[in-house]
C-alpha cells in the first residue's frame, strides 16, 4: 500500500488504525523481525498510536546486534594484525568487543576502511596487492548475495589477497529457534521485507505450518507496517494461519532465484552463535571448502574467544523480545548512542538506539 | 542494514549498471538481477540491485524518502 500525498497517507493510516481497533478484541503480540522495521515503527511512533491490546516487540533482526562477542573479539584480533586492511560496513565501527572496537583500533593505527559495497572492498585488494584485505561479512540474506558476488569475482580475476570473515546469519533458523523457545510469547510476525525479497516467503511457510505462527512479509514505511498488522489480525479473526505478503511490489513467494543460486554456490549453512540466543544449528553461513582461499577464517590462524556477556547489559533479552529497551537498567543512563554499552544501542537499527532516538513514551 | 533505495538504470556494461538514484549517479552491480534492462527501476542494497520494481512503486518510495529527509531537516 502506498501513498501519493500526505492527505491520502493520513486517511489510509486512519482507516487501518480503525480496523486494527476493531480487530484487537483480545491481546495480540507481534514481533517485528527486521531492524529496519524496528526503526520504522519507532520513527512513526506506532506504539503510541496502536491500542494497548496490540503489543509490538522487537526481534533478532539487526545483524550487528546479534553478532556474538566471540566473533567480535575474533575480527578485532584480525583487524589489529599488521599487513591487514579491514573493510567493513560503517555500522560495525563502534561495536564494542570485550576490550576494544574497530574505531579504537583505527585510532591506534590499524588500517580499517568503511566501504559501501563488497565491490569497493575487492577494489581495495586490487589496489593494495601487497596487503591482505579482509571484508567483515555481517548480515542476513539481503546482504549475503552481495558478498558472494565479490568472492566469485575474486576467483574469476585470480585476486588472492581478498578474503571474507563470514559471520552471516539466516532468518529461517532464527525464527525456528524463537518458535521453539518456550519463553517466546508471540502471536504473529512481521517478517523482513528485503530478506524475503531474496529467500522468498515460501522459505518461512514452516512457521505457520509447523509452529502455528502466522507471519506477514512487510514493507518499510508506516503504512506498510499498519497494513501488515491488519493482515495479521484478519488472519486471527478468520481463523487462518499463513505466511502472507504485504510487500508484493518487491517480494515473490519464490524469492530472487539468481541471488539464491550464488549464495548456494559460495556458502553453506553452518552452526552459528547469536548474541542472546546462543548456538543456533545451521543458523549461519560459512564459505564452502572450494572457496577456502577466500575464507579469512581458514587463511588466518585466529584464536578462539569465549562468549562474554557485557556486565549489566540486557541486549540478549531485548533481542528475543522478552523485554523492551526501557526495561534495561542501563538504557538512557549509562547506555546512550554517544556512550553505547551494548550492540542494540550501537547499531542505528538496534532496538535501543531506535527507542532512544525517537523517544518512545510508552512501555507496552 | 537491510535498507534498499530505488534507482533507474541508465546504462549497463559488463554486469555493472550506471543508475540514477534520487538524482545522483551511482554504479551498482546487476549480478543478482541478470535480466535487468536499461530503463528498469531497481531496488539497490549495498551497491547491488537486488530486485526489479515497477516505476510507480519506485517513484512513490523515492518521494517518501525525500519527504522524510526534509522532515528530518526541520528538527
Model pLDDT, residue A1: 45
Low-confidence winner among A2-16, A125-139, B45-59 (lowest mean pLDDT): A2-16
Give the chain B residue nearest A138 (alpha carbons).
Answer: B1
Give B72's pLDDT tier (boundaries 50, 70, 90): low
Assigned C-alpha cell, A315: 541486549
A2, A63, A149 member nearest B60 (Cβ) = A2
In chain A, the domains with their CATH numbers are 34-355 (3.40.50.11740)
Tell me the three state secondary structure of residue A263: helix
CB of B3 closer than 8 Å to CB of A40: no
* Section A12-39 average pLDDT: 94
> Residue B67 is part of which domain span?
5-74
Distance CA A108, CA A102 (A): 10
Distance CA A43, CA B72 (A): 11
Q: Does B37 touch chain A (CB under 8 A)?
A: no
B29, B31, B45 member nearest A194 (Cβ) = B45
Tell me the three state secondary structure of residue B42: strand
Model pLDDT, residue B75: 52
Residue with cell 511490489: A249
Q: Please answer yes or no on whether A146 and B47 come within 8 Å at the CB atom.
A: yes
Q: Please answer yes or no on whether A36 and B1 come within 8 Å at the CB atom.
A: yes
Q: Is the ipTM of this complex over 0.85?
A: yes
In chain B, what residues touch A262 (CB-CB under 8 Å)?
31-32
Assigned C-alpha cell, B42: 531497481
Query: Is A193's pLDDT higher than 50?
Result: yes
- Report how far apart, in Å, the C-alpha atoms of A355 and of each of A60, A240, A264 are: 15, 32, 36
A91, A138, A194 member nearest B4 (Cβ) = A194
A109-160 per-position pLDDT tens digit = 999 999 999 999 999 999 999 999 999 999 999 999 999 999 999 999 999 9
* Section A279-294 average pLDDT: 97
* Section A342-359 average pLDDT: 88
Indicate the burial class of B70 (C-beta count within 10 angstroms; 0-12, 13-18, 19 or more). Answer: exposed
Assigned C-alpha cell, A323: 523485554
Listed in order, strand segments (DSSP E) in A219-264 are 243-245
Query: Is A362's pLDDT higher than 60?
Result: no
In chain A, what residues touch B54 (CB-CB under 8 Å)?
249
pTM of the model: 0.92
Distance CA A251, CA A245 (A): 7
Distance CA A144, CA A155 (A): 17
Model pLDDT, residue A2: 46
* Section A312-341 average pLDDT: 91
* Number of domains present in the structure of chain B: 1
The minimum CA-CA distance between B49 and chain A, rounded to whole Å, is 9
Query: Is A363's pLDDT higher than 60?
Result: no
Higher pLDDT, A295 or B71: A295
Task: Quote the longest CA-to-CA distance of chain A.
Answer: 65
Model pLDDT, residue A162: 98
B42: CATH: 2.30.30.140
Query: Is B73's pLDDT higher than 70?
Result: no
Amino acid at each position: 500500500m502506498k501513498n501519493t500525498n500526505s492527505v491520502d497517507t493520513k486517511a489510509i493510516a486512519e482507516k487501518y488504525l480503525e480496523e486494527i481497533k476493531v480487530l484487537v478484541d483480545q491481546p495480540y503480540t507481534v514481533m517485528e523481525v527486521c531492524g529496519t522495521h524496528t526503526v520504522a515503527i519507532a520513527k512513526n511512533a506506532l506504539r503510541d498510536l496502536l491500542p494497548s491490546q496490540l503489543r509490538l516487540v522487537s526481534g533478532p533482526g539487526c545483524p550487528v546486534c546479534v553478532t556474538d562477542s566471540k566473533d567480535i573479539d575474533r575480527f578485532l584480533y584480525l583487524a589489529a594484525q599488521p599487513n591487514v586492511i579491514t573493510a567493513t560496513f560503517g555500522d560495525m565501527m563502534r561495536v564494542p568487543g570485550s576490550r576494544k572496537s574497530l574505531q579504537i583500533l583505527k585510532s591506534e593505527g590499524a588500517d580499517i576502511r568503511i566501504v559501501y559495497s563488497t565491490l569497493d572492498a575487492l577494489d581495495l585488494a586490487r589496489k593494495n596487492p601487497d596487503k591482505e584485505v579482509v571484508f567483515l561479512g555481517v548480515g542476513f540474506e539481503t546482504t549475503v548475495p552481495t558478498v558472494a558476488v565479490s568472492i566469485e569475482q575474486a576467483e574469476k580475476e585470480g585476486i588472492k589477497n581478498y578474503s571474507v570473515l563470514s559471520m552471516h546469519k539466516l532468518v529461517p533458523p532464527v525464527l525456528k529457534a524463537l518458535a521453539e523457545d518456550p519463553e517466546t510469547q508471540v502471536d504473529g510476525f512481521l517478517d523482513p521485507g528485503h530478506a524475503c525479497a531474496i529467500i522468498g516467503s515460501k522459505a518461512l511457510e514452516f512457521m505457520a505450518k509447523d509452529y502455528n505462527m502466522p507471519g506477514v512479509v512487510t514493507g518499510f514505511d508506516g503504512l506498510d507496517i499498519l497494513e501488515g498488522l491488519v493482515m495479521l489480525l484478519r488472519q486471527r479473526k478468520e481463523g487462518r494461519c499463513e505466511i502472507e505478503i504485504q510487500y508484493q511490489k518487491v517480494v515473490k513467494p519464490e524469492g530472487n532465484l539468481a541471488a539464491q543460486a550464488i549464495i548456494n554456490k559460495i556458502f553453506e549453512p553452518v552452526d552459528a552463535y547469536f548474541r542472546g540466543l546462543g548456538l543456533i544449528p545451521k543458523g549461519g553461513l560459512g564459505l564452502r571448502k572450494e572457496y577456502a582461499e577466500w575464507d579469512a577464517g581458514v587463511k588466518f590462524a585466529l584464536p578462539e574467544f569465549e562468549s562474554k556477556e557485557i556486565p549489566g547489559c540486557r541486549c540478549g533479552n531485548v533481542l528475543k523480545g522478552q523485554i523492551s529497551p526501557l526495561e534495561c537498567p542501563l538504557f538512557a543512563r549509562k547506555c546512550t548512542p554517544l556512550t553505547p554499552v551494548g550492540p542494540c544501542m550501537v547499531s542505528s537499527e538496534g532496538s535501543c538506539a531506535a527507542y532512544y532516538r525517537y523517544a518512545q513514551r510508552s512501555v507496552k | 542494514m537491510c535498507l534498499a533505495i530505488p534507482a533507474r538504470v541508465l546504462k549497463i556494461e559488463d554486469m555493472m549498471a550506471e543508475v540514477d538514484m534520487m538524482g545522483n549517479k551511482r554504479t551498482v552491480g546487476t549480478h543478482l538481477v541478470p535480466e535487468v534492462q536499461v530503463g528498469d527501476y531497481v531496488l539497490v542494497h549495498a551497491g547491488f540491485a537486488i530486485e526489479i520494481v515497477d516505476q510507480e512503486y519506485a517513484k512513490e518510495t523515492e518521494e517518501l524518502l525525500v519527504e522524510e529527509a526534509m522532515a528530518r531537516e526541520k528538527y
